[in-house]
Structure 1
Amino acid sequence: MLTTKTSLRQQLLLWLLLPQLVYCLAGAVLFFSVTLFYANRVIDSRLAETAEALSELSQTQGTDLDALAPIVVQETAFRFYSISNKNGDVLHGNLSLKAPTDEYVQEIYSSSAPSFFDTTINNEAFRVAAINTQFANKEPVLIQVAFNLNLRNLYARQILISTALPLALLIIVTCFLVWWGIGRGLRPLAQLQSLMEHRKAQDLSPLSLQDAPQELQGLSSALNHLLSGTEESINRQRRFIADAAHQLRTPLAGLKSQTELAMRESSPEGLRERLNMVHTSATRSIHLVNQLLTLARSEPGSQTGIPKVQMDLAKIIRDLTAELVPRALAARIDLGCDCFVPTANMHGNSALLREMFINLVENAIKYIPRDGSITVRLTEDAHNYIVDVEDNGLGIPDADKARVFERFYRREQTGNGCGLGMSIVKEIVERHAGTVELLDAQPHGLIVHVVLPKTDLPA
């Protein structure tokens, strides 16, 4: 098994060269087997021809084979013959080639054609062709012609060696070509590595690979997408920090000025007035900091730190409406709740959703005229829960509805708002895979229309 430390080049070399090696070895074995097969066929054919020639000679010459048989069979160390009677006595030829064992005798005598078998003579392997016939005097005899297989094996080894040398050369050439091809194929990866190693950490520009293969183009595209998302996230954080610093500078500077004036005040009434102004500035600063922290928690980059659980959206809305009724009454606002869904189970973060609905209701309380009314309404369709926060105030012009969700944007400079409430609402809704939009109420007023899916994937 390959370890995780094995390089890609080594893996490619292994899986490309290993089949080539197996293929060459299998080809050599197959070639050797085919060579032996056809060599055996040639040997059997020659032995059969010689045995049949001796059979014809014995039928015409009888027992007078002393002069003619050696002419038919040129005996050498690799080939010789024998003619034996039914008792197994050798009448002519080599005395070492005796009658076959009983397992071959029945097959030989049952057929007029030559029979073939392998035997061992003096610890050497021989191929034997045997045929039964009779002399001219009608005496039955058994003719055997043997061929020493050592000669065949010698020739086969020579053929194998002569075949193995070109195969070995072919393997070497193949290894070199595969090694060169892998190096050339992996060159774009080396180019990508070089680009990443020489790139500064602050450089998030897209990668540019020339003549990259299709697979590496996909990797390059994925990296460029990641770099683009990272750059966008960093730019968003930079804008957030810059905006937060700008927004915090004003109330903190005002707080510092108020404390300096309070330190110079000598009368109790003047000191009390200054302290009230310090308290107001501190309260506004605390509200701004809390809004900034909520916005930071609700951003997509912080999803891993905000768990989502199964919760009842209807209960959250009913409870929050009840909690905010005293604040609405203090502002002479009629706050009501219409939950047409008894139980609204969904997957979400209850803390963020509570913050979202608090912002919606508090914004309506701040900006609608006194003696107005606010209604929080919960409905549903087949796939979503729908929350509408409707008021009968002056509403928002269509040209400003999109800008309301921008950070630190305030249509009116009155009040203690910091322009983050609707930005927080949008971030929290998007965190729950929902949508939010502003609609006109009839005959006048504004509806914040929030759609939350019933089944939301965990963050």
Structure 2
Amino acid sequence: MRRPWLRGGPKTLSLKAQLYIWLLVPMLALIAASSWLAYASALEMAHTVFDRMLLGSARMIGESIGSEDGQLRAELPPAALENLQTGQSDRVYYRVDAPGEGLLAGASAFPRYEGALATEEWRSFDTHFHGEPLRVLAFAQPVYPFSPSSTVIIQVATTQQGQSALAWHIWLRSVWPQAMLLLAVAALGWFWVRIALAPVTRISAEVRQHRLESSELIAVDHAPPELRPLVRAINDYIARISQFVSERSRFISNAAHQLKTPITVLNTQLTVGLRSGESEQKQRALLGGYQSVQHCSRLIHQLLTLSSTEHALAPPMAPSPVRLVDLAREVLVDLAELAHHKGIDLGLVAGDVAPSVQGVPLLLRELIANLVDNAIRYTPEGGTVTVSLHNDEGGARLEVEDSGPGIPAHERERVFERFYRLAETSGQQGSGLGLSIVREIAMSCGAQVQLRDRPGGIDGLLVRVAFASSH
């Protein structure tokens, strides 16, 4: 069953209040149980005390019974009544019955005891008389000459106001120390809870004062053992936030630097075009401005793709089975004009069985587009770019092969870094983000990216993306 006050929500109690409640509630329950047991014990003790008083009065009445002229006579000694005085206005009843003779003395309306008692035996019990609860004691009193026929039954009874008052008095004397203890715990418990939660308050203050750009961690050794897992989790979160802030700052700085150059070039081209009076020069400036805008647009698109892939800024998309051949055909159609402009032979090689992988179609299409775009841009005019798809035992394999200059083996890991470009390609348009985006997308769908030489030692580059099986 859901407990909102424990799991959070609009009705959540503070941790201090919860600890205070869990401190008092069990103690209150124990004291309540102890009080109930104490009252039962006090009532039993009051029964015992009053039974002894009733027995004493019955014996006094029994000692006053004698035989005169062959008949039994019973008188009520004053001490027998005084023995039962409790100060609570209790009514006292008594009755003396002899076998074969009936009532000797006492209240005839009071019920006769019908049970069997041995000589000197007594029995106490509760009953009601005239609508009042009574405590009754029946006692078998022997009378000279001690024959069975000379045993009389003496009943002495009293109402229970005094007995109840005695039970309450005994109960209160046993309960009031527990009540005082509960009040002391309630008064001091709040301070105990505050002292116990002082480390939590301290950690909370440290987290609240922590600056976003700071990588300083909270001291684990100063925290109680129970809070150390929480402090470690907070420190891990601080480290991840610090890394994110650092990467974000570096990303923004690099993005601004990459955008500054084409925007400056665009501004120069537009300025030249506006100032020139020759239509041919205006046309060249307009064409150059168009190319700069295309470069900026592609750079911004790559920046957004990398940011959303790396930091999950976009809403998550559910992966599904994707046919790579369909995506590859779409990409080649889109880039066919760029390849045709450079006289590059752009081709697709797929086996009889089209490989299928598990992933997000939009991201996988971006992965293929970046690989093919890079290959076209860095392949000289008249070269070749081939996209091939293969089925492997463990999944599918996508390869993009070009006849460009290739990448030296010692640089193949660095080219996956953002904005990193080879020195020999600095004169060509590019942002250094293509392979970074490819690796991020590949990692998101469990694929691996490798850069290899072309088979046979031919100049160029082979990029292989190995996907796991979609089943």
Partners of 2:219 and 2:193 lie apart in 1 by: 22
Amino acid across the alignment from 2:252: I
The answer as to whether partners of 2:213 and 2:245 remain within 8 angstroms in 1 is: no
1:401 matched to which residue of 2?
412
Counterpart of 1:144, as a letter, is: I
Residue 430 (str. 1) matches residue 425 (str. 2): no
Shift of 1:147: 5.0
Aligned partners of 2:51 and 2:124 also within 8 Å:
yes
Superposition map of 1:232-247 within 5 A? 232-247=243-258
1:447 aligns with 2:462: yes
What is the alpha-carbon distance in structure 1 between the residues aligned to residue 180 and residue 253 of structure 2?
A: 70
CA shift digits 1:69-114 (9 cap, x unpaired): 959967633587542135784314x4378443xxx62xx1387754
1:116 aligns with 2:130: no
Which is worse superposed, 58-67 or 447-456?
Answer: 58-67
Pairing 1:95–2:107 present: yes
- TM-score scaled to structure 1, two decimals? 0.80
Deviations 1:356-377, CA, capped at 9 Å, x for gaps: 1011112223334544452322
Match of 1:313 among 323, 345, 352: 323
The CA RMSD measured in Å over matched residues stands at 3.9
d(CA) in 2 for partners of 1:325, 1:272: 25
Other structure's SS at 2:455 match: coil
| Residues 187-196 or 273-282, more deviating | 273-282
Contact 1:259 1:278 in 2 (8 A): yes
Instruction: Tell me the equivalent position of 2:154.
Output: 144
TM-score by length of 2: 0.78
Alignment partners' CA distance in 1, 2:397 and 2:140: 103
Deviations 1:221-268 (A, max 9, x none): 333333322222222222222112212222222233333334454555
The structural deviation recorded for 1:351 is: 2.4
Structure 1 residues 297 and 58, CA, compared in 2 at 3 Å: closer, same or farther?
A: same
Cα–Cα, structure 1 residues 51 and 221, in superposed 2: closer, same or farther, change >3 Å?
A: same
Alignment of 1:56-67 (within 5 A): 66=74
Tell me the distance in 2 between the aligned counterparts of 1:83 and 1:264: 140
Change beyond 3 A, Cα 1:328–1:267: closer
- Shift in alpha-carbon separation, 1:397–1:114, aligned structure 2, 3 A: same
Deviation at 1:452?
Answer: 4.1
Q: Contact 1:346–1:454 (CA<8 Å) still a contact in 2?
A: yes
Contact preservation (8 Å) 2:93, 2:110:
no
Q: 5+ residue gaps in structure 1? A: none
Pair 308,285 (structure 1): closer, same or farther in 2 beyond 3 Å = same
Cα distance between partner residues in 2 of 1:64 and 1:110: 19
> Does the Cα contact within 8 Å between 1:52 and 1:131 map onto a contact in 2?
no
Maintained 8 Å contact 2:64/2:77:
no
Q: In the aligned structure 2, how far is the partner of 1:440 from the partner of 1:152?
A: 106
Change (3 A) 1:394 1:132: farther
1:208 and 1:22 mapped to 2: Cα distance? 40
Give the gaps of 5 or more residues in structure 2.
86-91
Structure 1 residues 164-173 or 288-297, which shifts more?
Answer: 288-297
1:126 aligned onto 2:135: yes
Comparing 261-270 with 22-31, which one deviates more in the overlay? 261-270
Asked whether the 8 Å contact 2:306–2:436 carries over to 1, the reply is yes
Separation in structure 2 between the aligned mates of residue 259 and residue 138 of structure 1, nearest angstrom: 139
What is the aligned-residue identity percentage? 26
